[in-house]
């Protein structure tokens, strides 16, 4: 893993402001609990409104939070005027999305001027507080500049 140096000293405020504009995070009840240069953590409670047919958290809800964790890990090391867009990601669902709450961690594996690669892990937390790895993601992110209409 590469510990990236953020080029923007205000990275935290910038990432938190962008996260606050992601309406889907509020809909999911997700919070950005940590943002450091090249790494982000999102916490989310279980919510039956986002389940699949067996009552587990839907793979898409896990993807939503992991994609944002990877995206903010990437945005944290981008210049102040950059916007982040997801080019693609892959997710492996290792265990059912069963838990009281969930933690999603994203880290930048490879920083870059245009292309950044981030890896993420999703954990389910049971009533006893035990963490279980339930999914892993690799995401390719793009740093967009010179687009006044796209910010953060």
* Least distance to a second copy, CB of residue 27, Å: 5
* Least distance to a second copy, CB of residue 121, Å: 9
Using the structure block, give the residue that is written with the tokens 């938190």.
16
Q: How far apart are CA 71 and CA 86, in angstroms?
A: 7
Enumerate residues 42-81 that contact a second copy by CB under 8 A.
48-54, 58-61, 63-65, 67-68
Q: Which of 12, 34, 43, 83 binds a second copy (CB under 8 A)?
A: 83
Residue 31 structure tokens: 């919070």
Q: Could you tell me the end-to-end alpha-carbon distance of the chain, in angstroms, rounded to an integer?
A: 24
* Least distance to a second copy, CB of residue 46, Å: 12
Choose between 5 and 53: whose C-beta lies nearer to a second copy. Answer: 53
Q: Which of 12, 81, 101, 142 binds a second copy (CB under 8 A)?
A: 142
Q: Which of 5, 88, 129, 146 binds a second copy (CB under 8 A)?
A: 88
Q: Which of 5-13, 37-45, 106-114, 123-131 is the region at the interface with a second copy (rule: CB under 8 A)?
A: 106-114
3-state secondary structure the chain: CCCCCCCCCCHHHHHHHHHHHCHHHHHHCCEEEEEECCEEEEEEECCHHHECCCCCECHHHHHHHHHHHHHHHHHCCCCCCCEEEEEEEEEEECCCCCCCEEEEEEEEEECCCCEEEEEEEEEEECCCCCEEEEEEEEEEEEEECCCCCCCC
Binding flag, residue 143, a second copy (CB under 8 A):
no
For a second copy, the binding residues (CB under 8 A) are 18-19, 21-24, 27, 48-54, 58-61, 63-65, 67-68, 83, 85-95, 109-110, 114-115, 117, 119, 133, 136, 138, 140, 142, 149-152
């Amino acid at each position: 893993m590469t510990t990236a140096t953020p080029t923007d000293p205000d990275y935290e405020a910038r990432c938190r402001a962008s996260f606050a504009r992601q309406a889907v995070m509020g809909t999911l009840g997700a919070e950005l609990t940590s943002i450091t240069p090249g790494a982000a953590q999102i916490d989310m409670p279980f919510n039956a409104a986002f389940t699949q047919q067996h009552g587990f958290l839907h793979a898409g809800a896990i993807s939503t939070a992991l994609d944002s964790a990877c995206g903010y890990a990437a945005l944290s090391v981008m210049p102040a005027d950059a916007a982040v867009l997801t080019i693609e990601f892959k997710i492996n669902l290792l265990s059912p999305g069963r838990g009281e709450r969930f933690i999603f961690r994203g880290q930048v594996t490879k920083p870059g001027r245009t292309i950044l690669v981030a890896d993420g892990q999703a954990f389910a937390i049971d009533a006893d507080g035990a963490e279980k790895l339930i999914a892993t993601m690799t995401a390719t992110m793009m740093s967009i500049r010179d687009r006044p209409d796209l910010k953060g």
